[in-house]
A = this chain, B = another copy of it.
Amino acid sequence: MARLLERRKTLMKNGIYDAAVAVLVRDGFEALTMERVAEEAGVAKGSLYNYFQNKEDLLEFVHERTVEPLRQGVREVLESKATATDKLGAFIALCFEYLDVRRGLFHFLFNEHAIHKLISKPKTEGSRHLTAIVRQGIEEGVFRPVDPELHGTLLFGAVRQLFEEQLESEEPWAVEDMSRAVMDFFLNALKRPPALLDEKP
Q: Chain A residues in contact with chain B, CB under 8 A?
A: 28-30, 108, 111-114, 116-117, 120, 123-124, 127, 144, 146-147, 150-151, 153-162, 164-165, 168, 181-182, 184-185, 188-190, 193-195
From B147, B161, B181, B194, give the contact of A160 (CB < 8 A). Answer: B161
Shortest distance from the beta carbon of A200 to any chain B beta carbon, whole Å: 19
With a CB–CB cut-off of 8 A, which chain B residues contact A165? 123-124, 127, 153
Main secondary structure of the interface of A (DSSP, over half): helix
| CB contact under 8 A between A123 and B29, given known A111-B116, A188-B188 | no
Residue of B nearest to A154 (CB): B158
**Contact B113–A188 (Cβ < 8 Å):** no
In this complex, what residue of B is CB-closest to A112? B113
Q: Name the one of B114, B161, B193 contacting A127, with C-beta atoms under 8 angstroms.
A: B161
Hey, which chain B residues are within 8 Å of A156, CB to CB?
161
- Check A150–B162 contact: CB distance below 8 A: yes
